[in-house]
Amino acid sequence: MKLVTEEQSARLATHELAYRAVREALIAAVDPQTASFPVVLGHSFDPSNRFTVKSGAAPGIVGLKIGSYWPGNPERGLPRHSSTIILIDEAIGRIKAVVEGGQLNAYRTAAADAVATDTLARKDAEVLALFGTGHQARYEAAAVARVRALREVLVVGRSTASTEAMVADLRALGLPARPSGAEDACRAADIIVAATTAREPLFEADWVKPGTHISSMGSDATGKQELPPALFERAHLFCDLCEQSRRIGEFQHAGLEARIEAIGSVLLGAVPGRTSESEITIFDSSGIAVQDLFIARAILAEIAST
């Protein structure tokens, strides 16, 4: 059995590696031979300590990812979030590799945003409205900046302090960030990214201008919500996995009549993506196991090549 530690995977993780692996995974997700199994949500004796198990199988690869959130960890000098990917030997059913990947998971999540934005946003999109000031939001902005030449990043946070801190972090990365209110950010944006734990819409549907692309990255459990459902009625809807998006993703708030396309089908050319410069596109990322399996395989390949 191969063990890749958190330190090893963090050292090898890059936005480029994650983009390639996740793009491949999103295409694999629409392969009829690929299986994504129901998500398991659990917690420790203390219900505030939560974990999620996502599992799946694609041709040549099978396994699962355990993602945990322990809010008291900073007091111990540890991050709140951790992630462990387990690859199973398909021939004998034993564990083939364990990849610790807390930081790797941040790259993986942001890569799904980057692939969708690269595929669906207007080519001339240059203003990003970023909702969220947590750990993941920084990776989202950096990943989007790789696929579009951003002239401005408008950061919308719940507090002045957290917003200013995120602006400073993004400026340190060379991104043209500044704080903004929600309405001003939406009205100016060509791309809107939400990376929050919200349970109600972050903005009004009427604030979104024609031609905008939106990525909802935070809705991955029942009751979570970042976007106004009224927006779905005048937008083209995409996701990583349709059944899961309707069950625990942002589109749990969409009506049954809503037409939702898998982004993998767009990448294959099986269905159209953006059909006009004025169309609003929305991508919902609820997070699927094949993304974790493919990025773990990419890390193992990097180790094998060195």
CATH of the domain at 228: 3.40.50.720
Name the residue range of residue 257's domain.
111-287
pLDDT band at 108 (very low <50, low <70, confident <90, very high): very high
Predicted confidence (pLDDT) at residue 306 exceeds the cutoff of 90: no
Are 19 and 54 within one domain?
Answer: yes
Are 117 and 92 within one domain?
Answer: no
Domain containing residue 300: CATH number: 3.30.1780.10
Report the sign of the C-alpha dihedral through residues 156, 161, 166, 167, in that order: positive
Are 202 and 226 within one domain?
Answer: yes
Q: What is the pLDDT of residues 239-258, one digit of tens each?
A: 999 999 999 999 999 988 89
Give residue 255's pLDDT: 85
Give residue 9's pLDDT: 97
Q: CB neighbours of 249 closer than 8 A, spacing ≥ 6?
A: 216, 219, 220, 239, 284, 285, 286
Q: Percent of the chain, pLDDT > 70?
A: 100
- DSSP 3-state assignment of 171? helix
Q: What is the pLDDT of residues 133-181, one digit of tens each?
A: 998 999 999 999 999 999 999 999 999 999 999 999 999 999 999 999 9
Q: Percent of the chain, pLDDT > 90?
A: 95
Question: In this structure, what token pair is assigned to residue 9?
Answer: 């995977």
What does DSSP assign to residue 199? B
**Contact call for residues 38 and 52 (beta carbons, < 8 A):** no
Q: Which residues are catalytic?
A: 65
Task: Give the number of domains in the chain.
Answer: 2
Other C-beta atoms within 10 Å of 41: how many? 13
Q: State the pairing for strand pair 95-100/81-88.
A: antiparallel
Are 121 and 267 within one domain?
Answer: yes
Residues forming a β-bridge with 87? 63, 97
Give residue 220's pLDDT: 84
Are 119 and 239 within one domain?
Answer: yes
Question: In this structure, what token pair is assigned to residue 183?
Answer: 């309405």
Nearest Cα neighbor of 180 from 207, 156, 214 is 156
DSSP string, 112-161: HHHHHHHHHS-TT--EEEEE--SHHHHHHHHHHHHHS--SEEEEE-SSHH
Give residue 257's pLDDT: 87
Are 138 and 97 within one domain?
Answer: no
Q: What is the pLDDT of residues 23-65, one digit of tens each?
A: 999 999 999 999 999 989 899 999 999 999 999 999 999 999 9
Residues forming a β-bridge with 42? 51
Average pLDDT over residues 102-114: 97
Q: For residues 139 and 223, give the distance between their C-alpha atoms in angstroms, rounded to a whole number.
A: 24
Are 116 and 87 within one domain?
Answer: no
**Contact call for residues 182 and 159 (beta carbons, < 8 A):** no
Nearest Cα neighbor of 185 from 219, 143, 141 is 141
Are 210 and 181 within one domain?
Answer: yes
Q: State the pairing for strand pair 177-179/152-156.
A: parallel
Give residue 252's pLDDT: 95
Are 137 and 271 within one domain?
Answer: yes
The rounded mean pLDDT for the chain is: 96
Give residue 230's pLDDT: 96
pLDDT band at 80 (very low <50, low <70, confident <90, very high): confident
Give residue 221's pLDDT: 83
CA angle 43, 44, 45 (to 5 degrees): 125
DSSP string, 214-226: EEE-S--STT-B-
Are 32 and 163 within one domain?
Answer: no
Predicted confidence (pLDDT) at residue 86 exceeds the cutoff of 90: yes
Q: For residues 155 and 129, give the distance between their C-alpha atoms in angstroms, rounded to a whole number.
A: 6
Are 262 and 296 within one domain?
Answer: no
Q: For residues 285 and 279, give the distance between their C-alpha atoms in angstroms, rounded to a whole number.
A: 20
Are 78 and 49 within one domain?
Answer: yes
Other C-beta atoms within 10 Å of 223: how many? 10
Burial 74-111 (b: 16+ CB within 10 A, else e): eeeeeeebbbbbbbbeeeeeeebbbbbbbbbbbbbbbb
Q: What is the pLDDT of residues 265-297, one digit of tens each?
A: 999 999 999 999 999 999 999 999 999 999 999
